[in-house]
Chain A
Amino acid sequence: GENVEQHPSTLSVQEGDSAVIKCTYSDSASNYFPWYKQELGKRPQLIIDIRSNVGEKKDQRIAVTLNKTAKHFSLHITETQPEDSAVYFCAASTGTYKYIFGTGTRLKVLA
Chain B
Amino acid sequence: DTGVSQDPRHKITKRGQNVTFRCDPISEHNRLYWYRQTLGQGPEFLTYFQNEAQLEKSRLLSDRFSAERPKGSFSTLEIQRTEQGDSAMYLCASSPHTGGKGGTEAFFGQGTRLTVV
Question: How many residues on chain B are close to A (CB under 8 Å)?
Answer: 26
- Asked if A93 lies at the interface with its beta carbon under 8 angstroms from chain B, I say yes
Of A14-22, A44-52, A70-78, the one touching chain B: A44-52
Number of A-B contacts (CB under 8 A): 65
Tell me which residues from 8 to 53 in chain B have a Cβ below 8 Å from any Cβ of chain A: 31, 33, 35, 40-45, 48, 50
Of B63-71, B78-86, B101-109, the one touching chain A: B101-109
Cross-chain contact of B48 among A36, A95, A98, A100 (Cβ < 8 A): A98
Cross-chain contact of A97 among B43, B48, B91, B107 (Cβ < 8 A): B48
Q: Do A95 and B103 touch (CB < 8 A)?
A: yes
Q: Do B45 and A32 touch (CB < 8 A)?
A: no
Task: Kindly list the 7 A-B residue pairs having the minimum CB-CB distance in the complex, ordered from nearest.
Answer: A32-B103, A101-B42, A95-B102, A93-B103, A95-B103, A43-B108, A98-B45
30 A–B pairs (Cβ distance < 8 Å), ordered by A: A31-B103, A32-B103, A32-B104, A34-B103, A34-B105, A34-B106, A43-B108, A43-B109, A43-B111, A44-B43, A44-B91, A44-B108, A46-B105, A46-B107, A89-B42, A89-B43, A94-B103, A95-B98, A95-B102, A97-B33, A97-B48, A97-B50, A98-B56, A99-B33, A99-B43, A100-B45, A101-B42, A101-B44, A103-B41, A104-B40
